[in-house]
Structure 1
Amino acid sequence: MSCAVDTAWHNRGFDSLTSHSFFMSKAQYGKKVVKAVVSHRTCGVCKWWKRNRPSEAVRNHRCVHDHTGSVRLMESVSGERGVCELHKDGTPVEVIEGDGDNTMIARLKSKSNISLKKKFDRNHIVKNIGKKLYALQADKSTKLSKLVILHIQKCVKYILAKNQGDPKGIEENLKALVPHQFADHTMCQPPWCGYKRDRSVKYSHRSLPYKGPLKDDHLRSQLEKLFEPVVMKAPQLADLGSSQQCEHAIREVTMTAPKSLHYGNSESLDFRVKATAAFINEARHYISKVHSEAGLSPGVHSLRYADKCLKHRKRVQERSALPSTKRRRLQLKQERSITQGAQEALEDMSYQSEIGHSDDADIQKLPDLVPRGDFKPIVLPTGQPTYIAFDLETNWPYTRWPDPTYYPGCCHRT
């Protein structure tokens, strides 16, 4: 059985008191929650007795404290516990799909003598490369724009998608990725490079600025150094998985257990996580099933409303999976980025740490662009027209269109 696994902490950072992990089946089995594991670093009852009655023994209760290590260890321990429990229940896991940010596989092999195959998540691979590119962008000696970073990430996605099951193909294409951006196509392969497929047509990089190749030698050397460890991992990248359904389940938990509230002192968090798992597996019908198990009426209105929500849920899932919908999301994201950059260029620094303490803050804003007028031809009743020649002077902010600032004119009579 193949499972997608991911863990989330209830609070940001590495000081959270709880975590929850989801084991979810793949698409062929309906993307259902197979196992949900909740870990607690504290117990509210135990803390109260130790604080208020330290000399007495803690009363009998259902203690939720089940993790004594650090927060970073919770993901590995939770995954190990979930795999072992699934093995005991007769549902052995053979393949794990997820990020490579923990040592769960090594712990299972060392402590439980369980060997699993690991498939890394494709999105995490691309995001990790993006983090390295943005770190390189922070270096002032390297000229690397956001558009170039997005273009390189898109090329990496193409390489990973087109060469699954072919480690040699991934290695060759990753080696050719950086030279390809600098118009060096000696290492490119025809299935991936448009220049090699048809040399009779002038090749242009559609996603790079000005649709032309990059020309900075220093940037090329930095990018080649950045992709060296990625090329060495080509065998691992040839068989990738996805844990996106786990990301969806983790987001659903935040609806019932917001991160601004603490439910980890008792079993309240466990109930909320398991209710989320039931909602993902059975939709809203799980409420009626719980009522039936308890000997209560399932509710006619509840069943109708659950059917209506389930139909809407399927329509949204089908629409969101269409290539046109995904393409539209990317277009909207790019439009927002361009609009944001244009507005920030017209405005001055308006939000920054401790900017309100300054007395000479610049709040001026460049004027908006003048809309194009609706001009119509003029017919003179008598006489000859007068011709006026204009010389247009503009400024050039960090936007696509310049702003006119000066109109000198000269009159010529004919």
Structure 2
Amino acid sequence: MSRTTFCFVRCGNVASGSPAAAADTTPCLFTSVTHCRPPRSHISTWYSLYFNTKMPRHKGRIISAKRLHTLQAKAAALKRAREARQAEETEEELEQAEWEIPETPKAAVRRKLSPGSVEENAAPKKAKSTETEDNTNCAGGRRIVEYKVLGKGLWCCYCKECMSLDNIEDEKLFGLGSILNVRCHKCCTINVVPTGKRHADSLNRETLFDVNAKFALGVINSGSLYAPLRALFAAMNMPIMSYQTYKKYERSVGKKVEEVAKVSCEEAAKEERELTIQNKAALEQILPEHLSADFIIPTTVTTFEKVVRIMVSFDMGWSRRAAGRNYDSLNGYGCMVGNFTGKVIDYDTDNRMCMMCEAGHTPDTHDCRLNYFGSAKGMEAHVAKKLVIDSNILKSQNLEVGVLVTDEDCSSVAACRAAASHEIVKQSDKNHASKGVKKVLYGMEKKHGEINAEAIKWLHTCFTYALSQNKGNSAAMAIALRAIPLHTFNDHTLCGNWCGYKRDPENYDHRTVPGGFTNEQLREDLIDVFNKLADNANKFSAAASSNSNESINSMMARKCPKNTCLSMSESADFRYAAVVGKKNLGEVYTQKTMELTTLSPGIPFNTSYVKSTDRATTSRRSLYNTRDFKKKRIIKAKHRANIKYRKEVAEGTTYESNCNLLVLDGVEVIPLGEDDISENWLVGGEAEGVVVLFDLETGGLKADSDILQIGARCGKKIFDTFIRPTKSIPKETTKVNGLTSNSGDLFRHGKQVKAIPLQAAITSFIDFLVSFGKVVYLCAHNAFAFDGPRILAAITRSGQLQRFQSTVKGLVDSLPILKKNRPGKSNALGIVAQDLNISLKDAHDAVADITMLHLILQELKLSASFLISESILVTTLINRMELKRHLENVLTKGMLDKFAKGGLTVESIQDTFNASGVTGVTTLVKSVTKHQASIDKLCDWCQKQNAGHSTTASVTNNTVLPFTASTSTATEPVNEFLHVAWTSNEPEERQSSPDLFKEYLPPDFETSQQLPFGDF
């Protein structure tokens, strides 16, 4: 081997004497021979001559043999994998082709057919699916591209020929952007083609795709998360950036969002300062009277400009749902909202944990947001102090917080006052205050049955009206608050012009609570609550609201879902900054963020979205403040609640905690129902009469409660009517029978029913009984203790007792009858029906209950003759009722029963005592009983009544009697059903003087006591 060849092989240089000897001479790397340094093209030529082959190149560069072998091995491996994948896809295409319909070839047109076209009469071929997602090339699936950028890049940089995307040889994904290596079909040059615009990174290199930054901004703005978006992109067969790449872009864009939010807060602070100065007089009018004239703008001299004290509202939110003691959120966020601008003045967040720090990284290696080490409950006071006292934005604008509007849930004001050098006035949020009042009133509902849901809503409305109508006048507000409980008890001494009694004293009555409240204990409790509210009227004088803060918390809950933890990194802070930017600037904050990131603003689609969204927000805000919308919203909510209640009652228990825990599974049996009623089961013989089942639904268990429904049934004949209420219906009653009242109208399960006055209902009921043409025996479940006294009282009040007695002979109580047939078991109507497999549909409806009772009597084979034998005469019942009212505390129940069955009445005892004294009464009573102790008690009672009422006159047959059972002054409460005109065997004078019936009342009779007949 010659020296020239040797030098060429070892160092790549050519010895002297070669054709390139004229070039620069350089000593050999391995010998002292001096030779020239030829051009690289000559080296390649001589290499090919010597080795009989070309020098290996890769991407235009000469490479070593070792590098060549490595690349060849990789290429062989890729080829084998590609061939295997192609074989699998070929099998799948063959399987799919069997189900595909071949396309009919179109006729060839005059112009030259394009490649791949078929002739007009060519045989049809099987078509391949054009929607196949998987592609063997590197550019399979879908991409997000920018038309202009991609179109500009598809011109060959060497020959200026337009390239095709079919010639993509390689693709590098950079998140949602791509760089394509496209080979020119003319010159075979590989061109680098980006799919979108790029912007500079931290080293000022144009390497970051705009679409990735906008994707991160869109995720923050929409409140989405990476995981669901990854699933969305996978379903669309689109590549998505890795989570690490997403976090990189999120941190880059999120900091710009924070900058936009802070700038907007500074602008809002400037605007709030100007508006506060302009509206200084108006602001002073709604503040407490004790504040000095220079409170808003102090007269102290400063080096900058005058300090202005603004009015702001503050509220806190947490990134985790909690209630009661379960407050353990890792993140909290709060902001101050200006009173006049409604914009965020400043905001701050508290974070209790950092994921990077937990993993062992030091804070200087990442953007650590850990800044709080207390409990979640203490965050609100901590953030309030930082914003009110240490806010850099307030200091830069020479502002101070003078009035702070907050709720009553925490000690924020105390923390701010402790750190402030000036007075901070506390104003309660009227919405939180009204909710607190409503909560207290609902607590009273458990203690006092007289107050119900409708009454609570009425009191709550009165409270809110008192705040709104006396805004800025705490003294007038205190008087209005003290007048509310008195107004409900018909004491109108403190009422203002808002009271209807002041305008029409004779005809005024409460619409929600007819007649007003009467419970004295309830009166004391209501007065105590509203007096405390009146004592704190200074807190409500501004009638301020923190609705803006609540709106911000709601926006944050949408952008940062509470079911996902984002508070262990910067994500939660970025999203709260986005909320602040949207609150202050609107949706345009996204475009301002893009400008700071050197991105395009997004014309035309993003700009159009921003304009339409801001326009919709403005119109929606103006609509929500209109009176008509608020009224319609209340009506709609009430209607929806009525439907919900009606459906739940009709469906029964469908969902409840552990409702099926202790229930045994078994075979379902179809219960007895309406079709199983026997028409003639309750009809007796000609001499016996007919048994009519009846039931009452009332407005409560008290004796003076309204009768709201009367239902009666005998076989297939049914009577059903609703009665117009005159009093409010307690909530406990509504839960049982579903009846409610509103402005005199009656509703059943939220649906209004046709109701008539009591007089008309009683007339229709008696007409129904007369229609049978026989003697009637009324039967009810628990008739002697509940239904019987009330129906007789209503009939007496309507003046139709004589007509009733001419048709109805006796009363039957099914409860003691069932006790005899079912000893040792519960005999409540619903339980008996359930034991006998009888349908319980629409229980506590009068007609439904008597239908159940009819089926029970029919199932137990209790005939009409048997029920009639168990009846008690109506005259005996009325007599028993009168005796019990007067002699309940004198004689035993058994003795009163003997008196009633023996025909003794209070009136006969009175007449006998007035005529014959004690001797006559003793002789009269011995016809019934010889129990001397009872006779002596009755004689003593007669003497006491005579001595206590010797001056009271009673008109009977135009004679003044020296003795009556009892008297009552005009001021004593008397049950209204006792003010009746008796028409059965009564003198004319007694019929025309309903007040004389007071003599039948015991001295200690109360309107709330029960009216049972007693036990028979």
- TM value normalised by structure 1: 0.82
Letter in 2 for 1:129: V
Change in CA separation of 1:20 and 1:197 when aligned onto 2, cut-off 3 Å:
same
Superposition deviation, residue 394 in structure 1 = 6.1
Change in CA separation of 1:72 and 1:114 when aligned onto 2, cut-off 3 Å:
farther
Q: Does 1:66 align with 2:66?
A: no
Q: Does 1:32 align with 2:343?
A: yes
Superposition deviation, residue 96 in structure 1 = 1.6
More deviation in 259-268 or 100-109? Answer: 100-109
SS at match of 2:660: helix
Change in CA separation of 1:239 and 1:339 when aligned onto 2, cut-off 3 Å:
same
1:181 aligned residue: 488
Match of 2:380 among 56, 75, 83: 75
CA distance in 1, matches of 2:669, 2:515: 37
Superposition deviation, residue 214 in structure 1 = 2.3
Letter in 1 for 2:446: A
Which digits, 9 at most, give the CA deviation of each residue in 1:36-81, with x for residues without a partner? 211111111122229xxxxxx6763332111111211110110111
Alpha-carbon contact 1:49-1:58 (below 8 Å) kept: no
Which digits, 9 at most, give the CA deviation of each residue in 1:81-120, with x for residues without a partner? 1122143333432222221322223222323434322221
Q: Does 1:42 align with 2:385?
A: no
Superposition deviation, residue 121 in structure 1 = 0.7
2:429 aligned residue: 121
SS at match of 2:369: coil
Q: Does 1:199 align with 2:505?
A: yes
SS at match of 1:2: strand
1:150 aligned residue: 457
Letter in 1 for 2:334: S
Match of 1:325 among 629, 638, 641: 629
Match of 1:353 among 657, 668, 677: 657
1:3 aligned residue: 312
CA distance in 2, matches of 1:364, 1:317: 55
Q: Does 1:341 align with 2:649?
A: no
1:386 aligned residue: none
CA distance in 2, matches of 1:22, 1:296: 29
Runs of at least 5 residues in structure 1 that lack an aligned partner in the other structure? 51-56, 368-389
CA distance in 2, matches of 1:352, 1:409: 47
Alpha-carbon contact 1:346-1:397 (below 8 Å) kept: no
SS at match of 1:49: coil
Letter in 2 for 1:168: A
Alpha-carbon contact 2:468-2:543 (below 8 Å) kept: no
1:161 aligned residue: 468
2:538 aligned residue: 235
Which digits, 9 at most, give the CA deviation of each residue in 1:248-282, with x for residues without a partner? 11100111100001111111111000011111122
Alpha-carbon contact 1:142-1:218 (below 8 Å) kept: no
Match runs of 1:10-409 below 5 Å? 10-13=319-322, 14-26=327-339, 28-29=340-341, 31-49=342-360, 60-83=365-388, 84-85=390-391, 86-90=393-397, 91-139=399-447, 141-189=448-496, 191-199=497-505, 202-206=507-511, 208-209=512-513, 211-300=514-603, 301-359=605-663, 392-393=719-720, 397-399=737-739, 400-401=747-748
CA distance in 2, matches of 1:131, 1:144: 13
Alpha-carbon contact 2:450-2:517 (below 8 Å) kept: no
CA distance in 2, matches of 1:249, 1:212: 44
Which digits, 9 at most, give the CA deviation of each residue in 1:138-170, with x for residues without a partner? 33x543211111110000011111112222212
Runs of at least 5 residues in structure 2 that lack an aligned partner in the other structure? 1-309, 674-716, 723-735, 740-746, 755-764, 774-1016
Superposition deviation, residue 134 in structure 1 = 1.4
2:73 aligned residue: none
2:844 aligned residue: none
More deviation in 171-180 or 242-251? Answer: 171-180
Alpha-carbon contact 1:37-1:78 (below 8 Å) kept: yes
Letter in 2 for 1:220: R
Letter in 1 for 2:315: D
SS at match of 1:7: strand
CA distance in 1, matches of 2:547, 2:670: 45
Give the number of aligned pairs. 375
More deviation in 356-365 or 6-15? Answer: 356-365
Alpha-carbon contact 2:481-2:531 (below 8 Å) kept: no
CA distance in 2, matches of 1:291, 1:332: 42
Identity of aligned residues (%): 24
Change in CA separation of 1:204 and 1:331 when aligned onto 2, cut-off 3 Å:
farther
CA distance in 2, matches of 1:411, 1:181: 47
Change in CA separation of 1:144 and 1:199 when aligned onto 2, cut-off 3 Å:
closer
CA distance in 2, matches of 1:138, 1:125: 21
Superposition deviation, residue 225 in structure 1 = 2.7
Letter in 2 for 1:250: N
CA distance in 2, matches of 1:220, 1:93: 41
Alpha-carbon contact 2:331-2:349 (below 8 Å) kept: yes
Superposition deviation, residue 241 in structure 1 = 1.2
CA distance in 1, matches of 2:433, 2:772: 64
Superposition deviation, residue 180 in structure 1 = 0.8
Q: Which has the higher contact order (CA 8 A, sep 6+)?
A: 1
SS at match of 2:312: strand
Higher Rg: 2
SS at match of 2:528: helix
Alpha-carbon contact 2:437-2:460 (below 8 Å) kept: yes
